[in-house]
Structure formats: C-alpha cells, structure tokens
Structure 1
C-alpha cells in the first residue's frame, strides 16, 4: 500500500509545479506526517525532490526530471480511460474504478474525465441476467487465475441437461453474450459454454493440466455457410440495418425489401426470422422454408 501510494505521489508531482503537504495529505487521505515520511523515502531512493519551507512551501521535482517510460500523452490517457469505462461495464469491478481515478490524476488539467462513449447495456439480456452473468464472469476469472477446474450443470440449446467437469481457459464475448472456452473432460476436447446456460458451478481445487491441442480442437472453426434469401415488408428497413449491410439489402420496385446473405448452417436462424412475424417471407433455401412451416404449425397447435 505504501509503495503504491508513493508511486501515485510521484506521478502527482510530475503533473504539478509545486504541491503542499496538506494538498497531498487530502488527495491520498493520509496525515501530513505520513506525507513527509513518504517524501523522505522517495528522496532516499534517488528521486530529486525539492522542499520549500514556510507558508507557501511545498514539494516539487527538479525541471529536468522525467519518467518517459511511465508517462502517457493526453490521447493515450483518454484511450485508457475509455477502455477502463467499457471494461468496468462488462466486468463490474471496483478495481477498474480505482484505476480510472489514478489515470485521471495523470491528466494535465487534473479534472474528472467524462468519456464520449456510454454503454448502457453491454449485452442483449435483461438487467437481472446481466448481473448474474457478471458474477459468473468474476468467479470464472478467479478460477482461471488459480488454475482450478469446475464442475458445471449445463443446459444445451436442445434442452439437454448435463454435468461436466471442465478446465476453464478463457472467456469470449461474442454476439452480445459471454462464452467460456474450456477443456471438457467428458468430451476430451475444447468446447464453448454459454454462461447463461451454466446453471450451477462448483470449484474443484485440482490443478492437474490436461494435455490438448488447439489445432485438433473442434470449436466450430470450419464453418459451413449457405446463402439465405429473405423478403421483408418495407416497414422493416430500419430494423434490417441492425443486422445487414448495404450490399446485402435490395429495395424492390414495389417497396418490399430483399435480403441475401450467407449464414452458418449449424446455427438456428428460425428465432430471428420469427421475430418479424408476417412481415417476412423465406425465398430460399427450400429446407429453411420447410423448417419454418413446421415451426409455425407447432406454434399454432400449441
């Protein structure tokens, strides 16, 4: 704690011509006596601190002293602050707020930084689910750092519930959701687990590392793509720009909209299509038309 405070004081002095012991004491929430001891400690390790006595006294560094390797330009400081703001939204950690405050002290104007970027919701989930997922992220990061394994209860996309012992490797944020990349001992291969589908998690304090090969792991790297052509009502144009590019969208003579794009065959696109109700029509492929009609019939009968 003392070393961290002394480094922060040194950075603070780099941004000031002269600073009083009282100002430093207030800034770092310690007594003036502690500040004097910190100054003596900094001087003893060769930091060229100049002390001024009297009513307008204080501390400063000699003009030629710089810490080029530890300082950032204003653009770099803003970049770091914006990154911390985004990471704080994703991970919800008090540590990021502390880091943000420390970097704010590095700014030349020493004012609180207001990022031009605001993230109101980092995922597509409801707030309650986001909070639950952030807690899982925090716990899993701790498990990865310790090198432990976990036993999870997992619900697959097809509603199959299984118990797995896995070795967590890293977290991936994809398509608005968190996924855990882990070695599954049951499947003896790398797998991706969606965090919202991990219903229970128990830490196993076993640091035995299982040998595996990334090159042989099947994480869906070989994607089979197929062209899908849909037709939408003209009222859906605004929504379509949330999902498709200009090159994929064509406006027809009657105002309706045709969309042609490539999609992974092993991914279920029906929930997306059903979201548009009667305002969408599947033009191709035929198998997708058939699956869509089956789904509509199931919904109707239920």
Structure 2
C-alpha cells in the first residue's frame, strides 16, 4: 500500500545518510518513477527531503530532522481518522479500515472513534453505477501502484467507441463524477477519461512504458463562452435552488416568483437542468436558450 511504503521510505531515510532512487526502487520493488512520486508526496506534507543529482546522488533528510517531528498530536490523529473514514466511504477499501485500526491504537484515548462526517452517496449516479465505479477505482489504483498501462474501451460524449492504450496518472473527482487523468498513446498527450464511460479495462504488464510529460496541459473543455442567464422559478422550488445557486443570485419578485441571474458557460448543455424543474421554470433570457427549451419540449411531446 502506498501510505505504508512511504512511511517505510521515511524510516529508511532516517537510518541511512544518502539513498539513491535505484536503491529505494529495488528495496521496495517499485519503479524509480514511483520513488520520485513518493518523494514529491513526502515533500508536499512537509518532510524536509534533500535531493542530490549526479552519479553519486540520491535522497537524504536535513540533519535537524528527527523522528519525533513525524509523530501526531491527538487532534492530528482525529483528522487522519476522519479523512480515512471519508475515503473508505468513497472506495470501500479494506486496507483503509486496517490503517484506521492502526491509528486507533496510537490514540491516548482508547474509546472507539466515531466519525462526525460520512458519505452515503458521492455522486448522482444510481447505486449500481456507483458500485461499478468503485470497482473501477480499485482496479485503476492498483494499476497506478504497479506502474502498469491499461488498454481501455472508451465511449466518448459523441457516442463513438475507441480502444486506447493509456498510462494512468491519477484519479480526479470533479462535478460529482470520477475522471482518470492518463497519458493517451493515441493522442500522445494527457487526457481525462470519465470512469462511467470506460467500458472495459485490460491491464498491460509488459516492460514497455509510455513516456509522458507530467506538466502537459490537459484539454478539459472548450474555451469558456460565458453568458448571463435569467430564469424565473416558482417559490416552491427555493430548496432545490440552493443546491445550485447562491443568495446573491436569487431574488424574490413582487409576484412571488424567484428570479435567478447567473453566468454560465454556454458550451455546456443547460437543458437537462431546466427540464428537471418542469412547469416551475421560465426562461427570461437569452432568447436562444428559450427557443432551444421550447423546441426540446415539443420534441419530447411529439416523440
């Protein structure tokens, strides 16, 4: 498990003055690239790692660093347990439960820890889709951990299906959905793949690795084309509106309707959102959106 390996690397660095990436990779049976990622992660949480380049280079810790700097206060242990509990809710990962139990043993107060937060349903997907996505997450994390590639069958937003060989980099949770950031061999660039649209995963375990650039810009969406949208809602919809809008965007009209004014990227399709409110929404502007909505209602009625 990555967390346990990183802790073991820290202990190893405390015992030895200077350690090469090759030695660490051989010691922990991972690639050098994985070691570099682990070092970046340790540095990101405040571990003072020094890197020396060259033939006799490697990694070391600053002389003033001691193991007691890596111990946790009771509040920090609680924060760790909360984070693990939430991640366990997302992934249903048994390894996380084991790690939670280990941290529980470090607590001075041995009472059972009850999380103040939980995640019952992380996305808007049906339960069966969420369970399918969790399985994909576990499989993808294992591929990343082993530094392997994957061949995936992917359905694009325009419904075209393609086979891609990719080098997975990391998982991203955005706008209520999971995405995989990966280097695509076909496009020779980093791309995002929505997990629900990945229909098949085949792990490639040979030694031929794709070379990718960590800082490659990912083309997520088209350049934003922002326009002001003005909608009128029935007063009964106020609770729903707070799921999507702020107080500053909602105003009560004299006739009792709720006026919502907000900026929106018109590259994105707003019609599914509007249809959710049925007869309780009216489009004031822009005119093109109103016409699109009317045409959509007519099509649904006539189909």
Same fold (TM over 0.5): yes
- SS where residue 260 of structure 1 aligns? strand
Alignment-derived partner of residue 175 in structure 1 = 175
- SS where residue 88 of structure 2 aligns? helix
Tell me the distance in 1 between the aligned counterparts of 2:126 and 2:189: 32
Confirm or deny: 8 A CA contact 2:77 2:103 kept in the other structure: yes
- SS where residue 124 of structure 1 aligns? coil
Per-residue deviation, 1:68: 3.0
Residue 67 and residue 213 in structure 1: after superposition, are their counterparts in 2 closer, same or farther (change >3 A)?
closer
Per-residue deviation, 1:215: 4.9
RMSD between aligned alpha carbons? 2.2
Per-residue deviation, 1:67: 6.6
Deviates more, 1:184-193 or 1:117-126: 184-193
Q: Could you list the per-position Cα deviations for residues 158-203 of structure 1 after superposition, in whole angstroms to 9, with x for gaps in the alignment?
A: 3222222222211100122101112223333322111111111112
What pairs with 1:188-207 in structure 2 (closer than 5 Å)?
A: 188-206=188-206, 207=208
Residue 216 and residue 106 in structure 1: after superposition, are their counterparts in 2 closer, same or farther (change >3 A)?
closer
Alignment-derived partner of residue 125 in structure 2 = 125
Are 1:112 and 2:115 matched, yes or no?
no
- SS where residue 116 of structure 1 aligns? coil
Are 1:294 and 2:300 matched, yes or no?
no
Alignment-derived partner of residue 153 in structure 2 = 153
Deviates more, 1:160-169 or 1:228-237: 160-169
Number of aligned residue pairs: 239
Tell me the distance in 1 between the aligned counterparts of 2:77 and 2:230: 46
Q: Could you list the per-position Cα deviations for residues 193-237 of structure 1 after superposition, in whole angstroms to 9, with x for gaps in the alignment?
A: 111111111122354223447455422384332221111111100
- SS where residue 287 of structure 1 aligns? helix
TM-score by length of 1: 0.73
- SS where residue 294 of structure 1 aligns? helix
Confirm or deny: 8 A CA contact 1:190 1:219 kept in the other structure: no
What pairs with 1:15-164 in structure 2 (closer than 5 Å)?
A: 68-164=68-164
Tell me the distance in 2 between the aligned counterparts of 1:217 and 1:195: 17
Unaligned runs of 5+ in 2: 8-65
Q: Could you list the per-position Cα deviations for residues 9-68 of structure 1 after superposition, in whole angstroms to 9, with x for gaps in the alignment?
A: xxxxxxxxxxxxxxxxxxxxxxxxxxxxxxxxxxxxxxxxxxxxxxxxxxxxxxxxx973
Confirm or deny: 8 A CA contact 1:232 1:280 kept in the other structure: yes
Per-residue deviation, 1:106: 1.7
- SS where residue 151 of structure 1 aligns? strand
Greater Rg over alpha carbons, structure: 1
Unaligned runs of 5+ in 1: 8-65
Q: Could you list the per-position Cα deviations for residues 241-276 of structure 1 after superposition, in whole angstroms to 9, with x for gaps in the alignment?
A: 011001111111111011111222222121111100
